[in-house]
Amino acid sequence: MPLIILAVGIAFLFVLLVKFKLNGFLSLMLTCLVVGVAEGLPIMKTISSIESGVGGTLGHLAIILGLGAMFGRLMADGGGAQRISMTLIEKFGRKNVTWAVALTGFIVGITLFWEVSFVVLIPIIFTIAATAEIPLLEVGIPMLAAISVTHCFLPPHPGPVAVAGIFKANIGLTLAYGIIIAIPALIVSGPLYYKLVKNNKSEIPKGLAIAKVFKEEELPGFGISVTTALIPVILIAGSLLIEFFVPENSYAHTFLSFIGNTDMALLIAFFISLYTFGFRVGKKMPELMNSTVEAAKSIAMILLIIGGGGAFKQVIVDSGVGKYVATLVVGLPISPLVLAWVITALIRVTVGSATVALFMSAGILLPLLAQTGVSPELMVLAVGCGSMFCDPPTDASFWMVKEYFSLTFPQTLKIWCVQTSIISIMGLIGVMVLSLVV
């Protein structure tokens, strides 16, 4: 019954969005109320879950998306995004630009959270599409594939690291195995997958579109452009390395942890971009601040919709649907690695949050791991693959993809949910192949 209610709730959301043309935030709020009460939550507890879900999601994402939008707008208005995109097109060629984007996304995604990778890369993606006059999805799909495979397969991302700790897996081996399965998953779910969805139309949202195409002499240098764009990557990667070289209780450790914090890294990058893409080329503060205001306006509804997705997730978590699903499948007579993937994937689809799916399934599977003798590193990766399966409307990233690529709700289901499922299934295939030799 809980799964039937959830399915009816998602169908209700679909009708509100497609039939009645209600905006995403209001549709999600109504769906949360209906599903919460139908799943047995008291009405006031449902409201509390909605508030908690919105706050918990936006508390993490509002600063990242806000600073990311402002940083990206300054980079676009200053010509930095165009310089980077033109150089990639020049070096790799128009025909190979999708592979260039996939490689760039993979490198950036290794050290950054999914959301941070997204906001750092999206202005470059927009500019490549506009400059090369190619469909937005042609470069968007490889970028999404790259940051997604790194997010679910590779330490130092928090999900794989946390599950590795629970399973007592070796982080180095997990990373090595993860790279082996991530590369084919990226190729299939990125450049190759685009060929299947290339007939879908996507456009840059108003307010985030490229306002000006610069002449060659107006553009900043490639070095300063790419260095500024990579500042968040450098700071966050540096904060990860200090664990190996700097004593934990030292002032240096505290300082490097501070500047390597996700929010602080983006804030520092923003202020540096004020100089590199602003004061350095003669722009005044009022003009730069006007750009940031326009950037903030452009993501206001996006933030509300993402918050609504977080509310939907929290209602499902508080109603206990995820635990119900886990009890249904935990005794299935199949390979422990496949079982780990199935449990995590089902929790992911019902609850929405990849993080919740990771931790719930890890807790369920820990006793099983001790009994079977399966490689803990492969178990970590099986869980990570399952957490990527069929990203549902209860997850914030579903709405980020929908809004930033101006997709309809059915398009997002068809393109993004299928893409994440391909990543997940390709990852599981890789895990099973590795299990033959590990």
- Residue 363: the pLDDT is 74
Instruction: Provide the 10 A C-beta neighbour count for residue 381.
Output: 33
Residues 329 and 44: their CA atoms lie apart, in Å, by 32
- If one compares 362 and 9, the residue with the highest pLDDT of the two is 9
- Residue 172: the pLDDT is 82
Residues 345 and 84: their CA atoms lie apart, in Å, by 37
Among 97-106, 112-121, 175-184, 358-367, the minimum mean pLDDT is found in 358-367
Mean residue pLDDT across the chain: 88
Band of pLDDT at residue 190, cut at 50, 70 and 90: very high
Question: What is the domain partition of the chain in residue ranges?
Answer: 58-300
Helical axes 24-38 vs 2-18, angle rounded to 10°? 160
Taking 90 as the threshold, does the pLDDT of residue 341 lie above it? yes
With beta carbons less than 8 A apart as the criterion, state whether 124 and 102 touch.
Answer: no
**Max mean pLDDT range (60-64, 151-155, 182-186, 369-373):** 182-186
Residues 146 and 196: their CA atoms lie apart, in Å, by 17
Taking 70 as the threshold, does the pLDDT of residue 329 lie above it? no
Q: Which of 342, 345, 350, 344 is nearest to 395 (CA)?
A: 350
pTM: 0.78
